[in-house]
């Protein structure tokens, strides 16, 4: 297993390199001069040339990439054009907000998804199963940004129970939590459908295996069988949950825009519309790194949890 882990870690390095290359390229596929948003409209040629040298845009692409990567490795992602603050600082602050939202959403989504999926798989082809399947289809089909709007309409505009936008951190932890409910519930729908689908298939499959029949034959109670099923389904279900957390971290932009949640999605939105390319590049890089590392962790944890996985 150690050999597998070592190989898995080594295999991640070229992926990380590729991911940073894509992020680097983002600035260069952007139309127009990358300096256009820094330069004043009446900039002289000398100033343009000086800035070009300062930002290193006069060098060859490979040279620029190596320099950019070297700085990024030291935690320097450049300076935001819009705010003038270091990109790293801006991104890390936003990641905190997104992470809290995504964790709560994953917890809600996993709990209900696993519950629905388990009941559906246990009582296969029953009414409950059909209902759970319907819920999971709805969960993966719903445009979540629209669901967010609908929740705001119901709980903020009509009922007035919960705040529609912002994070409300000035009001203390209770206010913060109240602000987090609607975006987190909206976000939880995505993993809920996927977890329900996975757990249903897992449970239905496990229940058909010989060892379950054996357990029942030796007279084990339903609760005892239930424990065995959970134990067998857990590694895969947890892996799915881990991956979903990664998707939510990277995919929160639409939901954060709906709720004006001050996370990475909101930052990304601002970066795109202010043509703040260093900020765009930095945010994408950090989110993609999170995703790659989370994938690695999920693989490692799953291998450790599930002795049946033989990874040569």
By the criterion CB under 8 A, which residues form the site for another protein? Answer: 14-15, 18-19, 21-23, 26-27, 29-31, 137-138, 140-147, 149-150, 152-153, 157-158, 246-247, 249-251, 253-254, 257-258, 268-269, 271-273, 277, 280, 284, 287-288, 291-292, 295
- Does residue 252 sit in helix, strand or coil? coil
Q: How far is the CB of 299 from another protein (least distance, A)?
A: 13
Angle ∠(212,195,239) on CA atoms, nearest 5 = 80
Q: How far is the CB of 46 from another protein (least distance, A)?
A: 29
Q: How far is the CB of 296 from another protein (least distance, A)?
A: 10
Tokens in use for 225?
């069988």
Give whichever of 95 and 229 is closer to another protein, judged by the CB atom: 95
Q: How far apart are CA 20 and CA 272, in angstroms?
A: 19
Q: How far is the CB of 146 from another protein (least distance, A)?
A: 3
Give whichever of 73 and 158 is closer to another protein, judged by the CB atom: 158
What backbone torsions phi and psi does residue 45 show, to the nearest 5 degrees?
A: -60, -40
Residue 198 burial class via C-beta count within 10 angstroms: exposed 0-12, middle 13-18, buried 19 and up: buried
Give whichever of 206 and 249 is closer to another protein, judged by the CB atom: 249
- Does residue 153 sit in helix, strand or coil? helix
Helix ranges restricted to H, the chain: 2-29, 45-55, 61-73, 87-122, 127-141, 144-152, 172-207, 210-217, 222-250, 253-259, 264-273, 277-305
Give whichever of 55 and 176 is closer to another protein, judged by the CB atom: 55
Q: How far is the CB of 74 from another protein (least distance, A)?
A: 22
Give whichever of 145 and 226 is closer to another protein, judged by the CB atom: 145
Tokens in use for 139?
């969960």
Half-sphere exposure of residue 215: CA atoms within 13 angstroms, side-chain side: 17
Q: How far is the CB of 50 from another protein (least distance, A)?
A: 25
Give whichever of 91 and 288 is closer to another protein, judged by the CB atom: 288
Alpha-carbon separation of residue 296 from 11, 46, 50, 188, 248 (angstroms): 10, 48, 43, 23, 16
Give whichever of 138 and 304 is closer to another protein, judged by the CB atom: 138
Residue 110 burial class via C-beta count within 10 angstroms: exposed 0-12, middle 13-18, buried 19 and up: buried
Q: How far is the CB of 98 from another protein (least distance, A)?
A: 11
Is the CB of residue 273 less than 8 Å from the CB of residue 15? Answer: no
Give whichever of 117 and 250 is closer to another protein, judged by the CB atom: 250
Angle ∠(69,71,77) on CA atoms, nearest 5 = 90
Residue 277 burial class via C-beta count within 10 angstroms: exposed 0-12, middle 13-18, buried 19 and up: buried
Give whichever of 229 and 279 is closer to another protein, judged by the CB atom: 279
Half-sphere exposure of residue 248: CA atoms within 13 angstroms, side-chain side: 32
Q: How far is the CB of 149 from another protein (least distance, A)?
A: 6
Q: How far is the CB of 150 from another protein (least distance, A)?
A: 5
């Amino acid at each position: 297993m150690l050999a597998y882990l070592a190989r898995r870690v080594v295999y991640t390095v070229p992926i990380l390199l590729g991911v940073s290359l894509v992020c680097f390229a983002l600035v260069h596929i952007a139309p127009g001069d990358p300096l256009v948003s820094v330069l004043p409209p009446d900039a002289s040629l000398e100033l343009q040339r000086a800035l070009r040298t300062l930002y290193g845009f006069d060098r060859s692409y490979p040279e620029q990439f190596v320099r950019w990567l070297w700085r990024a490795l030291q935690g320097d992602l450049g300076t935001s054009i819009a705010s003038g603050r270091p990109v790293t600082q801006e991104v890390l602050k936003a990641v905190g907000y997104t992470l809290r939202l995504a964790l709560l959403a994953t917890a809600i989504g996993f709990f209900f998804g696993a519950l629905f999926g388990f009941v559906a798989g246990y009582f296969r082809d029953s009414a409950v199963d059909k209902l759970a399947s319907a819920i999971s289809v709805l969960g993966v089909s719903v445009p979540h940004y629209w669901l967010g709007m609908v929740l705001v309409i119901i709980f903020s505009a009509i009922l007035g129970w919960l705040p529609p936008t912002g994070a409300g951190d000035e009001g203390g932890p209770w206010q913060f939590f109240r602000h987090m409910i609607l975006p987190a519930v909206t976000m939880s729908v995505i993993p809920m459908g996927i977890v329900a689908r996975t757990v249903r298939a897992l449970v239905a499959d496990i229940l058909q295996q010989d060892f379950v029949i054996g357990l029942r034959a030796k007279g084990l109670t339903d609760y005892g069988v239930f424990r065995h099923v959970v134990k067998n389904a857990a590694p895969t279900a947890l892996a799915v949950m881990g991956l979903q957390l990664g998707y939510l971290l990277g995919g929160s932009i639409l939901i954060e825009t709906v709720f004006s949640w001050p996370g990475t999605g909101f930052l990304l939105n601002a970066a795109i519309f202010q043509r703040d390319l260093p900020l765009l590049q930095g945010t994408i890089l950090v989110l993609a790194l999170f995703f790659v590392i989370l994938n690695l962790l999920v693989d490692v944890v799953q291998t450790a949890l599930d002795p049946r996985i033989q990874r040569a």
